[in-house]
């Protein structure tokens, strides 16, 4: 379920663009936002202010600066709790990325699973939510049970229920495809899995950028996200987890801060979330993430989603008129991602010509090789939009793709 939010007023993305220094000063067009979004000036300013006014190590010091830094860091945890509507701040674990968050859960399940146990995964997913489970397959003998999307990237919740057996220990699925750009029916998947006593991990890397997420309403057991796609800094991500799991899960990393007591023959780990955050954490990055969350909510998540849907509709309408181009995804669900390919031209060549025209897109399998095998293309081009993208940029992309195909034919 999406977290409800009042409808915001219509806004002009050209005004928003002035808040993003790289976008405002770029002579070209940046359409690789699904890989990493640009940062508003307030994110960098907040990190600089944190470094210049209240930087020290957190939780450890008895001095004033450490107290200020700790308040900022733990304030960031509380801010993200509010952003996700999580019941408690202790359910938010800071990591360096969504990938690390998912690996943290996989590490915990390594101590739970036995050979022959199963994890249900989706071929729609990013490698970040597939490779950690493959590691369990290689090292612990588990079995991966796969659920495939339809030709438009839609997942059927009942297919997940059908894939669950008495040996299933977890369902791991994306909340939004980084290729098709549409939400998966996560709430229904969670409900059906829970009816069979199976927990669910969701990769929210893309969804949390474009939609308001309510983890309490979703009832999901684990939710992973990253900061750099959410207009925040690199080097910080987070895992939301239900308290029952946090109590059962062993830590993935050992070191300072994550122990309550320690002796030569005994260790007692700190309570969550600290037992999962060994070592010095990303203090300045947490401050920057708060600025990004404040900025996104200040613009309005409903407003952003409405603008991006309009970009998606316009992009699909323009690309529908281009011969010899295949656009992937459901035309009835236009999202902020447009993935396309041509049987007559390699995606890398198309992207190279676009780059020469100053248009940044991504070419490749987008860390979704199982999905691309289903699509019948080893490589595709992906244009991904953000709150600062414009209709004029969509038109420029479509015109440039037409010119690239004419050159490559």
* Residue 93 · residue 101 · CB < 8 Å: yes
The CATH code of the domain that includes 51 is 3.40.640.10
363 inside domain: yes
pLDDT given at position 206: 98
220-278 pLDDT per residue, tens:
999 999 999 999 999 999 999 998 999 999 999 988 888 888 889 988 887 889 999 99
3 inside domain: no
7 inside domain: no
The verdict on 271 and 247 lying in the same domain is yes
Q: Is the link from the previous residue into 273 a cis peptide, with omega within 30 of 0?
A: yes
Per-residue pLDDT band at 11 (split at 50, 70, 90): low
The verdict on 375 and 312 lying in the same domain is yes
Provide the domain count of the chain.
Answer: 2
The verdict on 121 and 154 lying in the same domain is yes
The CATH code of the domain that includes 360 is 3.90.1150.10
The verdict on 283 and 322 lying in the same domain is no
The verdict on 139 and 280 lying in the same domain is yes
pLDDT higher than 70, residue 7: no
pLDDT higher than 50, residue 311: yes
Task: Give the distance between the most distant pair of CA atoms in the chain.
Answer: 71
The verdict on 138 and 250 lying in the same domain is yes
* Residue 330 · residue 179 · CB < 8 Å: no
- Could you count the other beta carbons within 10 Å of the beta carbon of residue 290? 24
Per-residue pLDDT band at 4 (split at 50, 70, 90): very low
pLDDT mean across residues, the chain: 94
pLDDT given at position 187: 98
68 inside domain: yes
* 228 vs 316: CA distance, rounded Å: 27
β-pairing, 237-241 with 222-226?
Answer: antiparallel
* Residue 381 · residue 326 · CB < 8 Å: no
Q: Please confirm, yes or no, whether 367 is among the known catalytic residues.
A: yes
* 35 vs 22: CA distance, rounded Å: 16
Cα torsion angle, 392, 393, 395, 396, sign: positive
The verdict on 207 and 312 lying in the same domain is no
**Which of 247, 276, 296 is the last residue in one of the domains?**
296
The verdict on 305 and 370 lying in the same domain is yes
Per-residue pLDDT band at 10 (split at 50, 70, 90): low
The verdict on 88 and 31 lying in the same domain is no
1 inside domain: no
Q: Give residue 325's domain range.
A: 13-39+300-408
Predicted TM-score (pTM) of this structure: 0.95
Lowest model confidence (mean pLDDT) among 13-27, 41-55, 266-280, 304-318: 266-280
6 inside domain: no
Residue with tokens 């281009």: 322
Give the three-state DSSP class for 60.
coil
**Which of 252, 274, 296 is the last residue in one of the domains?**
296
pLDDT given at position 9: 42
pLDDT given at position 194: 98
The verdict on 22 and 160 lying in the same domain is no
2 inside domain: no
pLDDT higher than 80, residue 1: no
5 inside domain: no
According to DSSP, the residues that pair with 146 across neighbouring strands are 121
* Residue 125 · residue 174 · CB < 8 Å: yes
**Which of 265, 296, 327 is the last residue in one of the domains?**
296
The verdict on 384 and 237 lying in the same domain is no
The verdict on 288 and 316 lying in the same domain is no
């Amino acid at each position: 379920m999406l977290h409800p939010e009042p409808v915001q007023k219509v806004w002009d993305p050209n005004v928003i663009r002035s808040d993003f220094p790289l976008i405002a000063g770029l002579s070209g067009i940046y359409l690789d936002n699904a890989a990493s979004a640009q940062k508003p000036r307030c994110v960098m300013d907040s990190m600089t202010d944190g470094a210049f006014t209240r930087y020290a190590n957190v939780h450890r010091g008895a001095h004033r600066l450490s107290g200020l830094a700790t308040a900022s860091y733990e304030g960031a945890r509380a801010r993200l709790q509010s952003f996700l509507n999580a019941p408690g701040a202790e359910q938010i674990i800071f990591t360096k990325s969504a990938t690390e968050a998912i690996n943290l859960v996989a590490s915990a399940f390594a101590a739970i699973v036995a050979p022959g146990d199963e994890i249900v995964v989706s071929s729609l997913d990013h490698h970040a939510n597939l490779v950690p489970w493959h590691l369990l397959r290689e090292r612990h003998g588990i079995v991966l049970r796969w659920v495939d999307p339809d030709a438009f990237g839609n997942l059927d919740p009942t297919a997940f229920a059908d894939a669950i057996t008495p040996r299933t220990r977890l369902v791991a699925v994306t909340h939004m495809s980084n290729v098709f750009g549409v939400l998966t029916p996560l709430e229904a998947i969670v409900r059906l899995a829970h009816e069979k006593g199976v927990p669910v991990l969701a990769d929210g890397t893309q969804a949390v950028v474009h939609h308001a997420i309510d983890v309490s309403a979703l009832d999901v057991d684990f939710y992973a996200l990253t900061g750099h796609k959410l207009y925040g800094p690199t080097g910080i991500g987070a895992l939301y987890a239900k308290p029952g799991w946090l109590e059962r899960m062993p830590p993935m990393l050992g070191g300072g801060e994550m122990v309550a007591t320690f002796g030569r023959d005994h260790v007692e780990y700190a309570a969550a979330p600290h037992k999962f955050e060994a070592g010095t954490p990303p203090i300045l990055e947490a401050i920057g993430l708060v600025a990004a969350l404040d900025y996104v909510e200040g613009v309005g998540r409903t407003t952003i989603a409405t603008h991006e849907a309009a970009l998606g509709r316009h992009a699909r309408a323009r690309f529908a008129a281009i011969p010899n181009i295949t656009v992937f995804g459901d035309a009835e669900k236009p999202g902020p991602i447009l993935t396309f390919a041509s049987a007559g031209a390699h995606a890398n060549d198309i992207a190279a010509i676009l780059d020469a025209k100053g248009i940044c897109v991504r070419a490749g399998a987008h860390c979704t090789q199982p999905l691309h095998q289903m699509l019948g293309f080893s490589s595709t081009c992906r244009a991904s939009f953000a709150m600062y993208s414009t209709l004029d940029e969509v038109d420029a992309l479509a015109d440039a793709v037409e010119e690239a195909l004419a050159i490559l034919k």
